[in-house]
Structure 1
Amino acid sequence: MTEFETSRVVVLTGANEGIGYGMLTTLLEDGYRVAALDVDGEHVRPLQEASPDRVRFYDCDVTVDGDVETAIADVLDRWGAVDILVNNAAILDFGFFEEQTLADTKRTFEVNYFGYLRTIRAVLPHMLARNEGRIHNVSSGVGLVGNPGLTGYASTKGAIESFTRSLRLELQHTNVSCSVMHPRLAKTRSATALDYPASAMSDPTDVGRKLARQVESTDRVVMADWFTRVGLAVARLFPYLVKRGTERFVVEHESRTRERAR
């Protein structure tokens, strides 16, 4: 490890499981100090007990201003800097639009969109004062191409895409970068509700590892790997493939609707 790597501090939200946990363990392997923010610390706490100088768990709900502000303030007090922020915390509630309430959608936005904004607001003044920092917002291909049954989740990711592009332009004359990260479809706890074929879903630990190895990137878009890049490009160029690939969700929904109407 280089001195540059071992002195770097990463704030990572949604770090306790799935892709976030894969990122956390890889960042620790690579010599970073990591502040892990999550509402559940079951898997993070043992890492903190083993390496308290390298990883800190913060019981943090990103929908609560005070939780976020307190966590970031403690990181700055303890380690003196936040070099990199990775916004990964998200919720995914599968359900067709007419089955979802406005409260459901608002809750999704509070975590997936405003949760990102809260952490950015907490670290950005510090990064601007130092004139150095990297902000990564984990997105999803559904925010660009859509998916039936995910109107709320896809909307939050689409909003994050637009927000990130705009903030990046606002920061263009600074040394603070803002990027979106695109993981591959992974077999996370929330994604299993989509019931995609197992062959189409990657190991979340592996996906997290690939993203973690790119946290120093200042690119506008950071893809987990070439497969993700090609797959998303094809989906955007040929929307009928997305329609065909998700047709069964629509058919199953229509069947349930007919059954309820009987």
Structure 2
Amino acid sequence: MHPTLNIAVKAARRAASIINRASVDVDLLKVHAKSPNDFVTEIDRAAEAAIIEVLREAYPEHGILAEESGESGDTANCEYQWIIDPLDGTTNFIHGFPQYAVSIALAKNGVLEQAVVYDPTRNELFTASKGRGAFLNDRRIRVSKRIRLNESLIGTGFPFRQFDHVDAYLAMFRELTQKTAGIRRPGSAALDLAWLACGRIDGFWEMGLSPWDMAAGVLLIQEAGGLVSDLAGESDYMTTGNVVAGTPKIFTQLLPIIQAWRPATLQA
């Protein structure tokens, strides 16, 4: 395992221990709304602090982009930047719905190089290093071999922060409901992308994500043989927050349907 990936795994496990302890008494958590339908708990902040402590101890010169604390370090001149979501699926977590994860990625000059998505409820550790493949608990993983959209299970995320494009999303959802074997919305984009990488779902799309929601998952998919793009079929998903992903065969069938309903006012 690459040294930086090893540190990321250590940080993810440290955060997960905090999350697991808190999951026993979620009713006691203090929950705050950052915006409508977007929540943060003291556990999000504690887990993020634990991750940053581990990363800073090993790599004090690296920049950090984290969901709760934002950017830190000399990001303009940093060659490396860690992209962190300490608890992806907070709404699930505070309801006791066991679908959430720790997500940590490392980018070098804007290129994703290391990825960790850790599911503390199942003790599933997804890892990837650029050019070295993707793994689940040390077992090599690949995207599914499914080639027909009508036999595919597709993941998505419903709009929950902004609703400007909800009609376009519902049009995409309506068509794909009729043209696939099913659509799932578990509520953690990081895990959805990891599950695509290991073949549990065959495609995924969502709009309005943040870099920390998708950074690690994107690298997992790419290293597992899948394809990822923004809504225009380009690679600007980390900036636009809009992502389409899938197995090579399913991606090429999924993307045109998404594009057909993309409003002109929506960025790629």
TM-score range, shorter chain: under 0.3
Indicate the structure (1 or 2) with the bigger Cα radius of gyration.
1
* TM-score, normalisation: structure 1: 0.28
Greater strand share, structure number: 2
* TM-score, normalisation: structure 2: 0.28
Greater helix share, structure number: 1
